[in-house]
């Protein structure tokens, strides 16, 4: 056994069971309590997110803490416009079901976090993205997911708001031109706790069987 292998941690059955529970209880939260989130909890989750894998070790994720009320209002206004446009794409019955859904907690969440991918980064020296440049954004997505799990482990809820115009959000937050919006996250303590996704609970879309997602060739 090598020295590195000897020092590697072992994750037993109890840990695996808890990890499965963490994944099962990771919810897309839209309903938040007004309680402030401790800064040390946010920083701890960001530190874990920065351990995520990335193509060429480029670490292209960029986190923007959105605290300015005017910038938050601009993001919320983008959501309203995009949400109305999305509802208009459905027929009457599905549109009514869509409008009954709560799809963002922008007004309630104490913490707003925009996650960008720096597509102009020189880090990584281009390794692994010559044929698939989108790997930079996929790397940023891994950081989002890691942050999400870390937040849940701290008792926090995260809501990923995708019903937004990326150009409007990018403009409102005044970030470098090479940055591309990957996620806009609402963060806070959940007002409700549910093991099932909200979209399942409200009849929008059920879970699909794992075997339907797996092919062999």
Q: What is the pLDDT of residue 64?
A: 98
Q: What's the mean pLDDT when you consider all of the chain?
A: 95
Q: What is the pLDDT of residue 189?
A: 98
Domain presence at residue 177: yes
Considering only residues 6 and 137, tell me which one the structure prediction assigns the higher pLDDT: 137
Q: What is the pLDDT of residue 1?
A: 42
Q: What percent of the chain has pLDDT over 70?
A: 98
Q: What is the pLDDT of residue 4?
A: 54
Order the strands of the 111-118 sheet from edge to edge.
61-65, 111-118, 179-188, 157-161
Q: What is the pLDDT of residue 195?
A: 87
Q: What is the pLDDT of residue 157?
A: 97
Q: What is the pLDDT of residue 5?
A: 61
* Containing structural domain, residue 180: 28-205
Please report, for residues 21, 24, 75, 192, 204, the alpha-carbon distance to residue 195 in angstroms, rounded to integers and kept in the order given: 10, 7, 29, 10, 16
Domain presence at residue 147: yes
For residue range 86-126, what is the model confidence (pLDDT) as tens digits? 999 999 999 999 999 999 999 999 999 999 999 999 999 99
User: In the chain, how many domains are there?
Assistant: 1
pTM of the complete model: 0.93
Q: What is the pLDDT of residue 7?
A: 85
Which pLDDT band holds residue 136 (cuts at 50, 70, 90)? very high
Domain presence at residue 166: yes
For residue range 1-51, what is the model confidence (pLDDT) as tens digits? 445 567 889 999 999 999 999 999 999 999 999 999 999 999 999 999 999
Considering only residues 4 and 185, tell me which one the structure prediction assigns the higher pLDDT: 185
User: What's the CATH code of the domain at 102?
Assistant: 3.40.109.10
* DSSP, residue by residue, 12-59: -HHHHHHHHHHHHT--B---B--PPPPHHHHHHHHHHHTTS--GGG--
Domain presence at residue 57: yes
Mean pLDDT to the nearest integer, 191-214: 92
Domain presence at residue 16: no
Domain presence at residue 63: yes
Domain presence at residue 59: yes
Domain presence at residue 3: no
Mean pLDDT to the nearest integer, 178-193: 97
């Amino acid at each position: 056994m090598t020295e590195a292998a000897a020092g590697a941690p072992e994750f037993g059955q109890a840990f695996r069971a808890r990890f499965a529970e963490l994944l099962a209880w990771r919810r897309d939260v839209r309903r938040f309590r007004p309680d402030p989130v401790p800064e040390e909890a946010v920083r701890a989750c960001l530190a874990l997110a920065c351990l995520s894998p990335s193509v060429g070790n480029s670490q292209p994720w960029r986190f923007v803490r959105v605290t300015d009320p005017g910038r938050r209002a601009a993001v919320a206004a983008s959501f309203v416009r995009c949400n109305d446009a999305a509802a208009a794409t459905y027929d009457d019955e599905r549109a009514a079901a869509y409008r009954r859904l709560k799809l963002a907690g922008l007004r309630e969440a104490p913490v707003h976090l925009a996650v960008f991918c720096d597509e102009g980064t020189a880090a990584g020296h281009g390794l692994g993205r010559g044929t698939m440049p989108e790997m930079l954004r996929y790397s940023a997505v891994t950081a989002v997911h890691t942050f999400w799990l870390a937040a849940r482990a701290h008792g926090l809820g995260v809501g990923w708001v995708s019903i937004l115009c990326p150009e409007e959000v990018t403009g409102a937050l005044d970030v470098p031109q090479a940055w591309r919006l990957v996620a806009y996250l609402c963060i806070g303590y959940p007002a409700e706790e549910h093991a099932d996704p909200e979209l399942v609970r409200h009849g929008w879309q059920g879970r699909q069987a794992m075997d339907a997602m797996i092919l062999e060739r």
